[in-house]
């Protein structure tokens, strides 16, 4: 009987020591991205500065997001939310409404590769989905003729 008790105690002691020994650093599982859908004309208010190339979109204010195309290429235009065009309306840049809107654009972010989302020399409101991965924020256009138009920003706190 004593040998059985000794074996049971030895196994229990070994299990206790094994569970006390750390097998290595614990890794937190990755958090799923925060996803938000923005309809055409919804205000986009980044909580931190967004950086892509040499463009830095400041935080602390809200923007309306447009797709713009001119001779330089296709851009996402971050503009003053106080001036809006109706969703679905295409505004030509050479018209008075286009000139007024162009004067309210704060940032132009190039879309690479340049795709045809809007006719040449015009601007239109776009809907988009944001996915916040923490150090990166991905903005995917929805409801546009070209599928999978994605712009990924670095987030600066």
The domain spans of the chain are 28-156
Question: What is the tens place of the pLDDT at every residue in 113-152?
Answer: 778 889 999 999 999 999 988 899 999 999 888 878 899 9
Window from 20-24, 42-46, 99-103 with minimum mean pLDDT? 20-24
Reduced to 3 states, what is the DSSP secondary structure of residue 4? helix
Give φ, ψ of 122 to 5 degrees: -150, 170
The C-alpha angle 33, 106, 91, rounded to 5 degrees, equals 95
Taking the C-alpha atoms of residue 127 and residue 132, their distance in angstroms, rounded to an integer, is 16
* CA–CA distances in Å: residue 147 to residues 42, 46, 116, 157: 21, 24, 10, 31
Global pTM reads 0.76
* pLDDT in the model for residue 157: 80
Contact 118, 92 (CB under 8 A): no
pLDDT over 80 (residue 18): no
């Amino acid at each position: 009987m004593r040998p059985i008790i000794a074996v049971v105690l030895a196994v229990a002691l070994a299990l206790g020591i094994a569970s006390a020994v750390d097998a290595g650093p614990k890794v937190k599982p990755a958090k799923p991205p925060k996803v938000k859908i923005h309809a055409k004309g919804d205000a986009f208010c980044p909580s931190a500065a967004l950086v892509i190339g040499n463009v830095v979109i400041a935080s602390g204010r809200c923007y309306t997001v447009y797709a713009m195309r001119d001779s330089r290429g296709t851009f996402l235009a971050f503009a003053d939310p106080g001036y809006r065009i109706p969703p679905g309306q295409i505004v030509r840049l050479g018209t008075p409404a286009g000139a007024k809107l162009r004067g309210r654009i704060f940032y132009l972010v190039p879309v690479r590769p340049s795709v045809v989302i809007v006719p040449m020399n015009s601007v239109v409101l776009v809907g988009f989905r944001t996915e916040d991965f923490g150090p990166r924020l991905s903005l995917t256009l929805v409801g546009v003729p070209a599928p999978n138009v994605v712009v990924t920003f670095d987030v600066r706190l």
